[in-house]
Structure 1
Amino acid sequence: MADEEAIPPTFAEKLLFYTTASFVLCAIFSLFAFLFLVPFVIEPAFTTIFMQFDIVPALCVTTQVKHLVGASNCSWASCREGCTKDLFECTQIRVNYKLGNSTNITETEVAELVRVERALRKDYDYYEDKSADKSYPDMIEEDLPEAMPTGLQGNDSEWYFTGARLFPNVKGCGYPPILNCTVFHSKYKPIGNNYTCYYSRVDPGLVITELDMWQNTLNLVYAMAIPIPSFIISVIYLTFAYFKIYNQEEESEQAPLKSDAEAMATGDDEKPTTPGSDTFREDLACFGHQLKMQLANEKPKEETKSSFVNA
């Protein structure tokens, strides 16, 4: 028996296939995009919101810089390019900040900071920071003299907080070209530099140099409003297509292909009559048998008729 010829798919079948394939790809890409955005956009954006940074900038002055080597010493770094790599060398910048509306600190206050810095050099060891060609004391918070107390000082003090950690953003890390640690260090590392900064109401010892709450919220909305609905819609369509569309097509294709035993068991007299079906072959064999019997019955009659004519 010759193979049946392949029936080309209809336009509706092609449309259903490409639509399903598109939703499958949409679900896959949406899931991977969401997993990629969680550590780089979504989690930092939520952290920025939860830390409750004051949108009114404070006045910051760099007071202490430490350059440390070793994973045990680098518990944090003011700036690092790459948020997942381990730290074996770090630069820690600490600042004093005060609340105010002015963007400048008086020269007297800056001179006082420089005077305190010079006084510290008499009592503590130093290391050489070759990148900036300037020496800074390598000390810990417990070593600071009473002239520079650390922590929250309150509004009555000259400084609202002293010894705060400085970061470019809430995570203190990023990737070029958005974040360049060389530029960051050159701008905020020199002792006595004054600039605006933003402190956290939840953790006043955390200070960042850049804050844009509108852009932060917009990034969070884009990162969640696009991949999550796309994934949900794709899953809903694929579920509907699997349980409704494709199941109905399979049932409609299997309905005319009942076996003869099923037809006899159900009392169904209607049998498929396609050229390759069992019913067609049985009918053909039955017709051949009937034709053979008819020819066999006609042959004796013809012999009897011819004998009668000869007599």
Structure 2
Amino acid sequence: MSTADDAVSDTAVRVSSRGSPRPEVLTPLGNGEPPVSVARLLRQERLKKGRQQRRPLRQRVRGATLTTASLLVIGGGAALLFLVPIVVDPAVATLRADFAPRPAACRTERVERFHTLSACGWSSCREGCTSDLYRCLHVYVSYVPAADEPAPPPEAVLLINVKTCGYPPRVNCSAFELAYGVEGREFPCYVSRANLSVTVTDFREGESAVLLAAGVGAPAAAILLGAITVALLQLQPACWKRRKVGHAESRPPVSQRVWSTSVSPGSSAAMSGSPAATLSAPERQPRHTQRQKPEILKINVW
């Protein structure tokens, strides 16, 4: 049979079940087995490479844990920056003001309203703590202190809270003005022990400490947990590598026998043409060196 006939016999064409010809090159194996499709061989090769490139479960879990810990650090830092002006700062100011736990009897004496920036240095209520004051409300009260409290000043200012500002729905300046911005209105208020001329309309003992602990403790715990996890995951591979190297060095060395045949020019073996084989002394090498360097048979014939 000619070369062309061999090529034709080595190549076949498969027809699909629908009847349309579907060319598919078949490669003979050469050992009596049926031919294998080239496309099938390529698919098998791709699947094999994909299995080799797929990371093991341990590395995937380590990567997911490292990503989660990094997100904890970033999220905790962002939350701390966001909570400082809204929760932490008012809670610290409330604790420093040291309000009396028992309310005093307050009465609105005077109310002033301004609509200019120069006259609005402060306000009894303000929605938003970062906006400029173009409209402000000044409420002045007189109060009768509770028992065992120092004598009050002639006049005190009434504030919605110690920071005089806040965000809806907790702070509503329109409702505050309707409730306390009317002269002669009587209501309970809380007096600051650090400054007797400052009163507030609402105070809950212990609430500021809880808000301070939650506003600082939760983000700080997230940052600390994430940082420790990242540090452990980054230091763990280096520790394992040093441990493996130390364990390999601590093992007793394995002797390696190297066979060499050397014949001197003036010996009888060289004259007769039969080399004499001698066994050299065993050489001690580390285990990892034995794996990398195979035994070499050296033959020196003079």
Equivalent residues of 2:62, 2:233 under 8 A apart? no
In structure 2, give the amino acid aligned to 1:64. Answer: R
Shift of 1:233: 1.7
Which residue of 2 is the match for residue 79 of structure 1? Answer: 125
2: CA distance, partners of 1:21 / 1:246:
17
- Calculate the TM-score normalised by the size of structure 2: 0.62
Matched, 1:230 2:222: yes
1: CA distance, partners of 2:100 / 2:194:
10
Shift of 1:100: 3.4
SS in 2 for 1:161: coil
Matched, 1:42 2:88: yes
2: CA distance, partners of 1:171 / 1:23:
36
Unmatched tracts of structure 1, length 5 or more: 102-153, 255-265, 274-278, 284-311
Out of 79, 88, 97, the residue aligned to residue 33 of structure 1 is 79
Matched, 1:239 2:231: yes
Shift of 1:251: 7.6
Closer, same or farther: CA 271–205 of 1 in aligned 2, 3 Å: same
| Correspondence list, 1:4-19, <5 A | 5=49, 6-19=52-65
| Correspondence list, 1:154-165, <5 A | 155=151, 160-165=152-157
2: CA distance, partners of 1:234 / 1:68:
50
1: CA distance, partners of 2:198 / 2:164:
10
Equivalent residues of 2:140, 2:156 under 8 A apart? yes
In structure 1, give the amino acid aligned to 2:238. Answer: N
Out of 168, 173, 183, the residue aligned to residue 165 of structure 2 is 173
Larger relative contact order, structure 1 or 2 (CA cutoff 8 Å, min sep 6): 1
Closer, same or farther: CA 191–232 of 1 in aligned 2, 3 Å: same
2: CA distance, partners of 1:249 / 1:30:
30
Equivalent residues of 1:62, 1:193 under 8 A apart? yes
| Correspondence list, 1:102-117, <5 A | none
Which residue of 1 is the match for residue 17 of structure 2? Answer: none
Equivalent residues of 1:98, 1:161 under 8 A apart? no
Matched, 1:195 2:195: no
In structure 1, give the amino acid aligned to 2:133. Answer: L
Structure 1, 38-47 or 4-13: larger mean CA deviation: 4-13
Equivalent residues of 2:188, 2:201 under 8 A apart? yes
1: CA distance, partners of 2:170 / 2:53:
57
2: CA distance, partners of 1:26 / 1:166:
41
Matched, 1:65 2:111: yes
Paired positions, count: 208
2: CA distance, partners of 1:60 / 1:249:
70
2: CA distance, partners of 1:272 / 1:166:
84
SS in 1 for 2:108: strand
- Calculate the TM-score normalised by the size of structure 1: 0.60
Shift of 1:248: 4.9
Matched, 1:210 2:202: yes
SS in 1 for 2:154: strand
In structure 2, give the amino acid aligned to 1:247. Answer: A
Closer, same or farther: CA 189–269 of 1 in aligned 2, 3 Å: closer
Equivalent residues of 1:20, 1:238 under 8 A apart? yes
**Counting helix residues as a fraction of each chain, which structure ranks higher?**
1
Closer, same or farther: CA 23–235 of 1 in aligned 2, 3 Å: same
In structure 1, give the amino acid aligned to 2:77. Answer: L
Give the CA RMSD over aligned residues: 3.0
